[in-house]
Structure 1
Amino acid sequence: MANPVQLRVIAEKTLHSPANPDLLAYSPSMELLATGGADHNVLIYRLNGQRVFSASQKVKGVLLDLQKLVWKPSGQLIAIAWSDGTVRLIGAESNKTVHQITVSEEEDIEVTCLAWTTYSATSKSLGDILAEAGSLWKDATGGGLKGKSAQLLDLPRDLAAIDIESSLPKLSVLPSGGTTEDIFSSRASLDALFRPFDPKDNDSISIMVVGTSTGHIHLTIFDSFVIGTFPSPLKSSKTSRHQLIRHASHPHHAVHGLLMKSTSTLVGGLYFVPMHLGFLTSERSDLSLLASRSSALQNLLRYIYQVQTLMTAEYQATQDLPSRFLGNIDETLAEHGDWTIAPALYHQVVTGHTLPEVKEWLVDELAERGHKRWDKALTTAHTTLLKLTHTHLLPALERASLLLSRLHGLASYHHPSHSPLGFSPTQIKNLLDTVAALNLAATRVLATTVGEVEGWAAFGGWVRGEIDRLAAGESAAGADDDKEAATVPTAKILEYIQGSLTASPLAQFFTPLDSATAESHTDALSTTTPLFPIMATALNNPDPTNAFQKALPNIASLTAHLATQATAVSTGIAEAEKRNVRFGDAVEVGGVGKEVLG
């Protein structure tokens, strides 16, 4: 009898609470161990026993039950299934959620199986095709090519897989707090989300298989690209259904093995069901590129949405405090005559005469303290708005254009004679048009905000001078006042009073549309192409009677329209791939003990 193999203990760790043996997952590539305990907390350890981080999940203050966990084969992410019907993907560097995948909308759902595997297949390059041509190719090339010359035969494939995005600067981290997703507020989590496409992975596809207590099977590829949810391949009845409990696959085969268990205590039994993922063995060699770039586009749209939300909040900050100050003086002026604050201040700049009510407001109500608050609110908000536009939104739109250009190239190549991708070149052209229109609006926001900064600098400085002058009284006026008056930018002050003081030029970009207008505008956006020339007209020579032009510069509306268009493309891709998934005939596995059947 052979001697038993002795396993060497690498590390030993005493846990604070008992670990569930069904909730253990090890990542050989990262040498990290994930454990789940009775407290529904996931703990990540290194082999030396050092704890990396922990993860738990709460929804509306209620701690969710931990159901399954599994590492991505590369070890970059860990998938954790919770009792709210979602699978959350967490980066190996932090406990922030990178993706959230909803596998079921039903309540009290249970994930019965969670598997994450990789399919690898070498696609045919031009060199492979020519090699198969045999003697004909050798005769034509004088014996064939060798060395570097032969490598050039893969040039078309290499050009298709080239990653231009890696040459771009990384997207900037968004300010934390407020409505910002945590994933965008740290460098590590942002890098995990926007991981560049590696040409080496062009023939490697990550596949996540999720089985639920309802018998459904959910498929996701490339971390977050959802192929779809499939009903149980076995017939169910009112008293029983079949649940996926185990999954097996080979990295070079497109057929996966599913082990399904009946929930009936009377019928019982285990069944082996083959699942053929036809899209893996498709003649197309660009599935990796297609799905990964589509996923990257969806992540980018999440980022753009968060930037737009922060920009809207900053714009609102430029309006809240000034509107309170101006609203108070408008009420006072209305009680004593027909004046409003804008004409009153205009009159004061031009004539030097100050209405008694305005003087009282400047000296007693606004005063130095109120002016400082006003100045701080506008300066901070405008500075942040400039940064969000220049550092976050415009670079993100540039990346979106590159991603869409790649997808447009794929669509043009395959359309219409080749196998369908699930979307057309026209859809991508419309997306590029929307991105261009949004880019134009963002550029105008940038220029307008700079103008607002300059206008407030002139007007705010004048208001502060008037507060000091009126508080000191006429007796304190002297020669210095005449010199200061000569350097006052009167034209800019008057322009600011007539416009930005009561009606910000940024309002057209950030003021929310009312429900009726938003609905009609959304319908008009879906049927209007191209948008870019209309946007140029709306910004440069708008027609006041044209409701569509009036609402078009709204950043939130454009962002929502962009997301709708992108979702249609992703859905089309998923539906095209979903049609290539087939389930084979089930084979009952006999001789299984009750301890296996549960």
Structure 2
Amino acid sequence: MEMDVSSPTSLPLLYSNLTPDPIDSGLAAFCDIHDLLALVNARSQNVVVFRINGQQAFSINRKDSDCRVSVLKWKPDGSFLGIGWSDGSVGVYSGEDGKLMSMSSTRSRGRSDGWRLDLLPEMDEGDDEEGECEAACLGWTTYAASEGEGVLRPDHFTHELTTDDWYDGDGDAGDDEKPTLSRLAKAIATLDATAVLPRLSALPIHALRFGPSEQKFTTQAGLDTLLNSDRTASESVTTLITAGTSGMNNLFLDDTVELGSFSIGNSISQTVHASHSHCATQVILSRTKDVQSLNLHYIDLPLQDFGGPLLHVVTTNTKRIQSLLSYITQTIRCMQSDLTSNLSLPSRIIGNISEELTSSGEDDLVTSLYQLAMTGNFTPTMLEWLTETIRENQQKRWDKSINDMYSHIQTHIFVHLIPALDRLAIAVNAVRGHAQVHQGTANFVPPEPFTILMDDLDSVRLVAQNLQLLVTTEHRRFRAFSRWLKVMVDIGVAGPNSKGAVETEERETPNLDYNLVLTYISETLMQSGCTSYLEQKPGMKGSCLEAEFWSFPGIVNSQRDEIVRAMRGLDAVNGIGKQEQERDLLNLPTLAIRLAGSARRAVESIRKWQSGMLPTPAKVSLPIVDHGLLDNILDIRLQPSRSTDGSGGESVTRILFKPEGGQLALLKVTRLQSKECTFEEKQYNLHLAGDLLHAQMVKQDRCLVLWREEASGGRVLLLTGNLSRYDERDSRWTRVIHVFEGKEGFEPDHFVVGGRPGKTVCVVLASEVRLGGCLIWRRGL
């Protein structure tokens, strides 16, 4: 029986949107919880996020001129948007404003192996490896630890706190008490000590080059998202799988903490991911380039370990270590920027007068000012400089530059750097405590990398505190010098030895601290002591291999013992090293570089330990070969066939595709408890002449189909079908719910279904024109 399309059901139109440029309809992603639609501009490759009413929420610029977007995926709660690029990199962006939160790679070696010797931001440039690799798919899954549902029940946790035999000391505890004790142990282990600390402040925007990953520190909301503890985080596990055409897949916890990586083979042309919040097994469908075969890879995640207190503490603090380290690095870069930018004007003024003094044969500036302060006698050049150059607003600009420099550096140290070091110390100590308890076993990593990290952190803190004292001292000296300089200008304008000059000198001299003035002239005027603390040392630039990094003289000499020895050699008055070697050691950028290297080494040890938890994916070859099937994959869904216990039990994978020479087909792969798989394929006839554009499963037995009729002037039908009611002799298993007549040049070729129960939305898109439509799909259809 042929389908009747004469009186289709009409869906209510929510809105239609005319985009300024063509879009890539196959890369659209809908955020169910916030009703946000992410689209890719086909020309600029920028990602634009729209609200449900068509208003633009924010946009994410193209990674670089050679990259294009290859995959889009929203996190289920809408907090992040994942974007995969054609160079293999994957960015996690804030779902609120589009700021970059983290960047990873699907290449076999992950991100660049270079160890940086400077504080310049990583611009996330493409890797130089041979061969093509692009991010093929992203898979976000949240497993809730709620009673009665999900695969993470509190009584299933087996790794408690820091020991494998938590209950050995309580022989009287019955089975009914163990879940309560388990929850108590988890509550203690996940206690967040940073909750009582004041919030870290957002960093100001400076006139320096910000890397994409540093932009998240410029807003308070973005900073809070990174650092503040989520009270519900301990009750759920969120995994993110990134897959690339290189065959390398990375698994992340809490969106940004890399748990490990695994390979599904080489020469992968494309991959598709599917998961379910009630099934511990995730699947990846791939096709190899050479033999043109389809493979289904089962990843059985040990969710009980992922949801245990130990791994939760490790993951949370690893994320904080990485975020706080970037925050500390950016703070030091801001201090460097304040130093160089605010010293430019005073340096120019001092340079000009120094040249004039040299050409006139007089003493240098320091000697001339020192003589003027001690004797009150003006040389002709100094008198002209004070009355003509300094008087004409130069002193106000000089004062503002130096006062801003000292106040900004002091704020960075007191408000940003020291609090961040305190939080970093808490995170490192939390992980080191677990490492010390498990020392000598294979249950966790050794504590030595975290001990070294704490020593390097203490070195940064010691130098930062001494820099703060130096800034306070120099600022006090400069204020005294500025007050004296203003008096000298007034005396010079009135005329030396004149009545007005004598009155000014008698009135102002009691308010001048000549000890501070002379000290500033002789020790700080020509070069601030802050320069040796904040300047980038020569040779500390670029990147190198790990062995070269730890043998670099500046890194080797920056050990804590050497820093303490240099601190003892500080000038008690000036707060700077007496010897050049001591000044070189007390350098914040160098210490921050060493701190970053120690943190990287500690995090790498954790990642290697966590990688041991990941099982080797089970590979199953599908009984369909060649014919470009994966190019015609329409949808893939994973469904647990029964309530699983988190051990990778029975599951059903449904693959909806367009068969060669057919209209619609569904391949059902059932994986049994024995890990064996059964296959069932069924083809469906829509009883229509034309071409299948797109189809998607919306429920277990329901699907939507976008169909272009053959002889109707380009008319496109949107159909809903019940796969369980299919009858090859009857077309009533499907019905038309909307017809696109091809007016205004709108020829849809793709759609996305999203939303919440009762508020389901079908977004119908077209790539060839600048027009898109969004339709409400009525409840129950």
**Same fold per superposition (TM over 0.5):** yes
| CA distance in structure 2 between the partners assigned to 1:311 and 1:292 by the alignment | 29
State the AA in 1 paired with 2:137.
C
Equivalent residues in 2 for 1:105-116 (5 A)? 105=127, 106=129, 109-116=133-140
- After TM superposition, the structure 1 stretch with the greater mean CA deviation from structure 2, 74-83 or 255-264, is 255-264
Deviation at 1:144, TM superposition (A): 7.5
When residues 184 and 247 of structure 1 are mapped into structure 2, their CA distance, relative to the original with a 3 A threshold, is same
Task: Tell me, yes or no, if structure 1 residue 450 matches structure 2 residue 472.
Answer: yes
Given the alignment, which residue of 220, 225, 228 partners 2:252? 220
Secondary structure in 1 aligned to 2:411?
Answer: helix
Deviation at 1:137, TM superposition (A): 2.4
Given the alignment, which residue of 485, 508, 514 partners 1:490? 514
2:406 matched residue in structure 1: 382
Preserved CA contact (<8 Å) 1:111 1:211 = yes
Given the alignment, which residue of 18, 22, 29 partners 2:33? 29
Calculate the TM-score normalised by the size of structure 1.
0.86
Secondary structure in 1 aligned to 2:526?
Answer: coil
State the AA in 1 paired with 2:568.
T
When residues 132 and 509 of structure 1 are mapped into structure 2, their CA distance, relative to the original with a 3 A threshold, is closer
Task: Tell me, yes or no, if structure 1 residue 511 matches structure 2 residue 535.
Answer: yes
State the AA in 2 paired with 1:329.
I
Deviation at 1:260, TM superposition (A): 1.2
1:257 matched residue in structure 2: 283
Preserved CA contact (<8 Å) 2:143 2:278 = yes
When residues 92 and 225 of structure 1 are mapped into structure 2, their CA distance, relative to the original with a 3 A threshold, is same
| CA distance in structure 1 between the partners assigned to 2:481 and 2:166 by the alignment | 75
Deviation at 1:162, TM superposition (A): 0.7
| CA distance in structure 2 between the partners assigned to 1:312 and 1:226 by the alignment | 31
1:211 matched residue in structure 2: 243
| CA distance in structure 2 between the partners assigned to 1:73 and 1:184 by the alignment | 24
Preserved CA contact (<8 Å) 1:249 1:255 = yes
Preserved CA contact (<8 Å) 1:342 1:497 = yes
Equivalent residues in 2 for 1:44-83 (5 A)? 44-59=49-64, 62=65, 64-83=67-86
Secondary structure in 1 aligned to 2:533?
Answer: helix
Equivalent residues in 2 for 1:301-316 (5 A)? 301-316=325-340
1:182 matched residue in structure 2: 215
Secondary structure in 1 aligned to 2:615?
Answer: strand
State the AA in 2 paired with 1:533.
V
Preserved CA contact (<8 Å) 1:458 1:489 = yes
Given the alignment, which residue of 65, 84, 89 partners 1:86? 89
| CA distance in structure 2 between the partners assigned to 1:109 and 1:591 by the alignment | 25
2:48 matched residue in structure 1: 43
1:200 matched residue in structure 2: 232
State the AA in 1 paired with 2:245.
S
Preserved CA contact (<8 Å) 2:90 2:135 = no
Preserved CA contact (<8 Å) 2:487 2:504 = no
Deviation at 1:80, TM superposition (A): 0.8
Task: Tell me, yes or no, if structure 1 residue 567 matches structure 2 residue 591.
Answer: no
When residues 553 and 252 of structure 1 are mapped into structure 2, their CA distance, relative to the original with a 3 A threshold, is farther
Secondary structure in 2 aligned to 1:162?
Answer: coil
Preserved CA contact (<8 Å) 1:211 1:243 = no
| CA distance in structure 1 between the partners assigned to 2:23 and 2:539 by the alignment | 51
Deviation at 1:131, TM superposition (A): 12
Preserved CA contact (<8 Å) 2:35 2:52 = yes
Question: Which blocks of at least 5 consecutive residues in structure 2 are unaligned?
Answer: 2-8, 108-126, 145-151, 542-548, 632-781
Preserved CA contact (<8 Å) 1:125 1:157 = no
Deviation at 1:37, TM superposition (A): 4.4
Preserved CA contact (<8 Å) 1:386 1:446 = yes
| CA distance in structure 1 between the partners assigned to 2:280 and 2:406 by the alignment | 54
Question: How many residues align structurally?
Answer: 571
The structure with more strand, counted as a fraction of residues: 2
Write out per-residue CA displacement over residues 129-153 of structure 1, whole angstroms, 9 at most, x where no aligned residue. 99999x96268xxx9879xxx9567
Secondary structure in 2 aligned to 1:54?
Answer: strand
Secondary structure in 2 aligned to 1:156?
Answer: helix
Equivalent residues in 2 for 1:129-140 (5 A)? 137=172
| CA distance in structure 2 between the partners assigned to 1:311 and 1:130 by the alignment | 49
| CA distance in structure 2 between the partners assigned to 1:82 and 1:153 by the alignment | 42
Equivalent residues in 2 for 1:271-290 (5 A)? 271-277=295-301, 281=305, 285-290=309-314
1:101 matched residue in structure 2: 104
1:579 matched residue in structure 2: 612
Question: Which blocks of at least 5 consecutive residues in structure 1 are unaligned?
Answer: none
2:394 matched residue in structure 1: 370
Deviation at 1:356, TM superposition (A): 2.2
When residues 486 and 95 of structure 1 are mapped into structure 2, their CA distance, relative to the original with a 3 A threshold, is same
| CA distance in structure 2 between the partners assigned to 1:592 and 1:564 by the alignment | 48
When residues 136 and 349 of structure 1 are mapped into structure 2, their CA distance, relative to the original with a 3 A threshold, is closer
Task: Tell me, yes or no, if structure 1 residue 163 matches structure 2 residue 166.
Answer: no
When residues 193 and 331 of structure 1 are mapped into structure 2, their CA distance, relative to the original with a 3 A threshold, is same
Write out per-residue CA displacement over residues 414-454 of structure 1, whole angstroms, 9 at most, x where no aligned residue. 22235133xx3232222222222212222222222222222
| CA distance in structure 2 between the partners assigned to 1:67 and 1:331 by the alignment | 59
CA RMSD, Structure 1 to Structure 2 (Å): 3.4
Deviation at 1:197, TM superposition (A): 2.9
| CA distance in structure 2 between the partners assigned to 1:227 and 1:159 by the alignment | 23
Equivalent residues in 2 for 1:289-304 (5 A)? 289-304=313-328
When residues 153 and 119 of structure 1 are mapped into structure 2, their CA distance, relative to the original with a 3 A threshold, is closer
- After TM superposition, the structure 1 stretch with the greater mean CA deviation from structure 2, 432-441 or 558-567, is 432-441
When residues 102 and 126 of structure 1 are mapped into structure 2, their CA distance, relative to the original with a 3 A threshold, is closer
Task: Tell me, yes or no, if structure 1 residue 334 matches structure 2 residue 358.
Answer: yes
The structure with more helix, counted as a fraction of residues: 1
State the AA in 2 paired with 1:378.
I
Secondary structure in 2 aligned to 1:406?
Answer: helix
1:521 matched residue in structure 2: 554
| CA distance in structure 2 between the partners assigned to 1:530 and 1:206 by the alignment | 41
Write out per-residue CA displacement over residues 94-121 of structure 1, whole angstroms, 9 at most, x where no aligned residue. 0221222233324753222222223453
| CA distance in structure 2 between the partners assigned to 1:311 and 1:429 by the alignment | 28
Equivalent residues in 2 for 1:426-437 (5 A)? 426-437=448-459
When residues 385 and 130 of structure 1 are mapped into structure 2, their CA distance, relative to the original with a 3 A threshold, is closer
Deviation at 1:227, TM superposition (A): 3.8
Larger Rg: 2
| CA distance in structure 1 between the partners assigned to 2:167 and 2:41 by the alignment | 56
Write out per-residue CA displacement over residues 339-389 of structure 1, whole angstroms, 9 at most, x where no aligned residue. 211121111111111222222222233333222221121112222112211
Secondary structure in 2 aligned to 1:582?
Answer: coil
Matched-pair identity in %: 25
Preserved CA contact (<8 Å) 1:539 1:553 = no
Deviation at 1:403, TM superposition (A): 1.0
Preserved CA contact (<8 Å) 2:240 2:251 = yes
Preserved CA contact (<8 Å) 1:440 1:535 = no
When residues 383 and 244 of structure 1 are mapped into structure 2, their CA distance, relative to the original with a 3 A threshold, is same
Secondary structure in 1 aligned to 2:39?
Answer: strand
When residues 138 and 245 of structure 1 are mapped into structure 2, their CA distance, relative to the original with a 3 A threshold, is closer
State the AA in 2 paired with 1:571.
E
Deviation at 1:282, TM superposition (A): 7.2
Task: Report 1 or 2 for greater relative contact order, CA contacts < 8 Å, sequence distance ≥ 6.
Answer: 2
Equivalent residues in 2 for 1:339-354 (5 A)? 339-354=363-378
When residues 15 and 189 of structure 1 are mapped into structure 2, their CA distance, relative to the original with a 3 A threshold, is farther
When residues 176 and 419 of structure 1 are mapped into structure 2, their CA distance, relative to the original with a 3 A threshold, is same
Preserved CA contact (<8 Å) 1:43 1:55 = yes
| CA distance in structure 2 between the partners assigned to 1:215 and 1:561 by the alignment | 34
| CA distance in structure 1 between the partners assigned to 2:423 and 2:23 by the alignment | 44
| CA distance in structure 2 between the partners assigned to 1:297 and 1:375 by the alignment | 39
